[in-house]
A and B are shown apart, each in its own frame.
Chain A
């Protein structure tokens, strides 16, 4: 009885730790998503777009 309880407790703990890691992981990802996009990206895309227009 006692044994099974402690086993389920450690399972719960493991699940909680996994949840905590999952939350952190999403946070790490979302932090970058919410950063403003560096101008460089848009400049590169614009240049590529102009090249296409020039070709046409």
Chain B
């Protein structure tokens, strides 16, 4: 009985430590989700699902190991399983583009972020996630490879292809700030990005 009480206590302490660390990671989960799927509301839903999944799976987490990488992996898996179900396939979100344009007060600085956001959304999703993890999330290639469950070399190649493609998209002005003909332009934009990213 006393033994059971003590182990309950240890469980409780462990859960508390886990919860504290998980709460500290929420901002990062939100940022990963937002950059991954673009739409802030869908992103927060995704981040909440990932947070709950992490909490439910807390027993399988080894305290002291990299919880950030672990939760990012959960979020990523969640993203892909939802994407398979219902995610609007990485089409250029014309509505969102128009919405942000209206919302922008300062036509200078924020627009560049919008362009980047648009450009990111055009990248193939595996390139996008690799670039976000390494280029913004602060993960080493090895950690990103563990999160994406692929080889380190694969991550490196995805990141460099993503960088080239993104640069190409931004420079060609392929994003449609006025929202015109975005749908029609998509095929040629993606083809151009793919060509660019394949060029050595």
Contacts and interface: CB of A to CB of B under 8 A. Distances in A.
A14 B167 contact: yes
B52 A24 contact: no
A45 B167 contact: no
A48 B52 contact: yes
| Chain A interface mostly | helix
A25 B135 contact: yes
A18 interface: yes
B43 to A, nearest CB: 8
Contacts of A18: 163, 167
A41 B35 contact: no
| Chain B interface mostly | helix
A5 interface: no
Contact of B170 (A21, A28, A29, A52): A21
Interface residues of A, number: 28
A44 to B, nearest CB: 6
Contacts of B47: 41
A33 B171 CA distance: 28
Contact of B113 (A27, A35, A37, A45): A27
A48 B167 CA distance: 43
Contacts of A24: 112-113, 116
Given A25-B116, A45-B55, A35 B167 contact: no
Interface stretch (B21-29, B74-82, B176-184, B192-200): B21-29
A37 to B, nearest CB: 5
Nearest 9 Cβ contacts at the A-B interface: A29-B136, A32-B31, A33-B27, A33-B31, A29-B31, A25-B136, A26-B136, A32-B34, A37-B26
15 contacts: A21-B163, A25-B120, A25-B131, A26-B135, A27-B113, A29-B32, A29-B137, A32-B27, A33-B31, A35-B30, A40-B48, A44-B48, A45-B22, A48-B55, A52-B15
Given A25-B116, A28-B35, A37-B26, 18 more contacts: A21-B163, A25-B131, A25-B136, A29-B31, A29-B32, A29-B35, A30-B136, A32-B34, A33-B28, A34-B27, A35-B27, A40-B44, A41-B26, A41-B48, A44-B52, A45-B55, A49-B15, A56-B8
